[in-house]
Amino acid sequence: MKKIILLIIINLTGVLGFAQEPLTAKYDLMPWPKEIKENKGKFVIDSSLTISITSIKSERVDHAATQFLRRLTNRTGVFLNEGFPLENKKGDIQIQFDAVSKLDIKNNESYTLIVDPSAIKITAKTDVGASRALATLLQLIDNNTTEYFIPGVSITDEPRFVWRGLMIDVSRHFQPIAVLKRNLDAMASMKMNVFHWHLTDDQGIRIESKMYPKLTEQASDGLFYTHEQIKDIVAYADKLGIRVIPEIDVPGHASAFLTAYPELGSKDGYDYQIERFSGVFNPTFNPTIDATYTFLENLFAEITPLFPDEYFHIGGDENEGKHWDESKAIQKFKKKHKLNTNHDLQTYFNVKLEKILNEQGKKLMGWDEIMTPDMPTTAVIHSWRGENEGLAKGGTLIEAAKQGYQTVLSNGFYIDRMQSVVDHYTIEPIGDVKLTEAERERILGGEATMWSELVTPLTIDSRIWPRTAAIAERFWSPKEINNVENMRKRLEVVSFQLEELGLTHIKNRAVILRSMTNNQNITSLLNLSNLCEPLKIYARNLDGIEYKTYSPFNLFADACVADASDALKFNKVASEFVQGGDNKAVIGFFTTWSNDYKSFIQLEKNPKITPLEPLYKNLALVSGLLSEALQTKKISRENLKTIQNTMILLREPVADVELVIVGALNDLTAYCESNYLKK
């Protein structure tokens, strides 16, 4: 880990950061590499292009090289003569590495990549490093009108953090194998290396147990992964250099577990059911009975062989202990064992699980509630709480590292909150905190968390991507790479390339809108969706009781995304205008929206479209009046009043979305009032 410390020191000098600025404008690499220099010339892509691997056999590199050729072919349209890596002779792209990785937190993912007009050379310590180099190389492909090429560059790269993860909750909404595979592909393309698989929760058990078949028979609605499918996913991830960490969330979040095995619950006679709503619920394992530990020990023993990774996540979050309070037997047990609080009781439970997992060769990892004085430092703290949960900024990450725990940060990376990518990208995990080398080494990295209350296979990609690519950069790249505007520019390219890779985040928006309109022209709705964002920070599905797991999730809000693209552009040009710029671009938007509204009202209406009608009408009204004011440089008191009254309506959420140009419209209104109002 010394290298990383060294990197921090180098970066603090600012040399790298400054040197890279011009190149971040020129290339669309993400995550941005540690070092990049330009060489002369370019490598031209034509049908004779070949790849060779002059090392020991690695399925990872074979796969990465073959996929590289497929993607290069499809992107460029170049018909390659040779569709597979060469054996026993040198190709144009020459890959060399020293060893096949054991995927663990010590794994070396560094590489160098040198592009010259005559050849491309990739060297790495490991096959995973070589695969990371190919991901970079794909992002370098460029073209002019007559040919595709790779610009001459020399790149030396390695990650800042060893743990760069994505958690997917498959309990609230089950996600088929194909969804997971395409997201693993996307992770690898962003050099992420940990897939945290949240397999159980109140809404369903998603992992087969042969020992406890009732788990899936009674508590999965038939939606779960077989052992074979889990092995398939783990193998697929391994090929991409991605570790898989399973999570079995206990003792809380146990409605589904206890639906199948109510005798393990804390409240006798309680009618446990698969939960259909969202939130924090009371069903909790009984930590005072042996049966609970026998069950979990057996279950873990069955599951752990499926997951070769050393880390095993037991959740441990959000147990409010109500059912513990309501049980006389549990209260008696607490007294007897001098466990003063429910937190003490949970620690008692966690310490027992830690021992069970240790005996099975696993390291226990849990959400930060597990960090209590009695918890051994062999446990790993997954820091999720922060200011919103009443903790200090940055949450428990630094504290855990200082107390001797390995730790991973998710606070700030809750992508289900539907916040702007900027909110995540500007989180700096360590900041200026002074750490010893050992403390720094214990901060493993971070994870974006995709809780799935409001996502289905149709929409999950658009909730994870492209924002997670920027988070991946935060975990991989030097901390000095933090220019938001430049990140947005690169992210736009990356987002489009993720579609090329097989993700559905762009194309499924049209699917939802076609469905909404019953297959009418969707242009006006698509343009509206580019001005609206789904309600953020759990304001959609307030208190978890608006949507059930089987409610519709192909509504207008589901076609909208966290960073509405036209809103970003409009807010920018409006701000520029107010600061003395030209009014043309602003008027251009207003004209579009007025015209779009005309198209919208032509649509044959149905109960899904109708709720958007007032929103669109009011937007068109304000657009028309402001446009007139901007063009005539005059506004009547009456029109101003109309605008102001309409703005009040536009501020209200509609159909679970908010119009995110309201601030800019207000600024323009104020500008018109100040400058154009007839006195």
Residues contacting residue 49 through CB under 8 Å, at least 6 positions apart: 72, 78, 80, 82, 92, 93
Distance CA 66, CA 77 (A): 16
Q: Please state, in angstroms and rounded to a whole number, the distance separating the CA atoms of residues 626 and 619.
A: 10
Asked if 143 is part of the footprint of a second copy (rule: CB under 8 A), the reply reads yes
Q: Is 499 in the site for a second copy (CB under 8 A)?
A: yes
552 lies in the binding site for a second copy (CB under 8 A): yes
Identified binder of a second copy from the candidate list 15, 44, 178, 545, rule CB under 8 A: 178
> Min. distance of Cβ 53 from a second copy in angstroms?
15
CB 502 within 8 A of CB 493: no
Element (H, E) at 257: helix 255-260
Q: Which of 262, 269, 265, 230 is nearest to 246 (CA)?
A: 230
Query: Applying CB under 8 A, does 580 fall inside the site for a second copy?
Result: no
Which of 377, 518, 565, 675 is the binder for a second copy (CB under 8 A)?
Answer: 518
| 145 is a contact residue toward a second copy (CB under 8 A) | yes
Largest CA distance in the chain: 84
Told to check if 377 binds a second copy by CB under 8 A, we report no
Is residue 488 involved in binding a second copy (CB under 8 A)? no
Residue indicated by tokens 């109500």: 322
User: What letters, b where the CB count within 10 A reaches 16 and e where it falls short, cover 139-172?
Assistant: bbbeeeeeebbbebbebebbbbbbbbbbbbbbbb
| Three-class DSSP category at 408 | strand
Q: Which is nearer to a second copy, 46 or 310 (CB)?
A: 46
Is residue 555 a contact point for a second copy (CB under 8 A)?
yes
Catalytic residue among 297, 302, 310, 318: 318
226 touching a second copy, by CB under 8 A:
yes
Total residues belonging to the chain: 679
Give the residue with the Cβ less far from a second copy, 140 or 397.
Answer: 140
515 binds a second copy (CB under 8 A): yes
Q: Is 73 one of the binding residues for a second copy (CB under 8 A)?
A: yes
Q: How far apart are CA 13 and CA 631, in angstroms?
A: 50
Alpha carbon separation from 26 to 32, 153, 468, 476 (Å, rounded) = 12, 12, 22, 20
Residue 318 among the catalytic residues: yes
* Site membership for a second copy, residue 606 (CB under 8 A): yes
Please, are residues 382 and 410 in contact by the beta-carbon 8 Å criterion? yes
Nearer to a second copy, 63 or 334 (CB): 63
Please identify which residue in 27, 111, 148, 261 interacts with a second copy, judged by CB under 8 A.
Answer: 148
Q: How far is the CB of 103 from a second copy (least distance, A)?
A: 20
Nearest to 45 by CA among 139, 119, 105, 113: 119
| Least CB distance to a second copy at residue 302 (A) | 18
Q: Which helix (H) or strand (E) holds 525?
A: helix 523-529
| Contact status: 542 vs a second copy (CB under 8 A) | no
One character per residue 244-283, x = contact with a second copy (rule: CB under 8 A): --------------------------------x-------
Residue 3 beta carbon to a second copy: minimum distance, rounded to whole angstroms: 35
Minimum CB distance to a second copy, residue 596 (Å): 15
The residues that are catalytic are 318
Instruction: State the residues that interact with a second copy by CB under 8 A.
Output: 63, 66, 69-70, 73-80, 83-84, 143-148, 176-178, 221-222, 226, 228, 276, 492-493, 496, 499-500, 504, 506-508, 510-511, 514-516, 518-519, 547-555, 605-608, 610
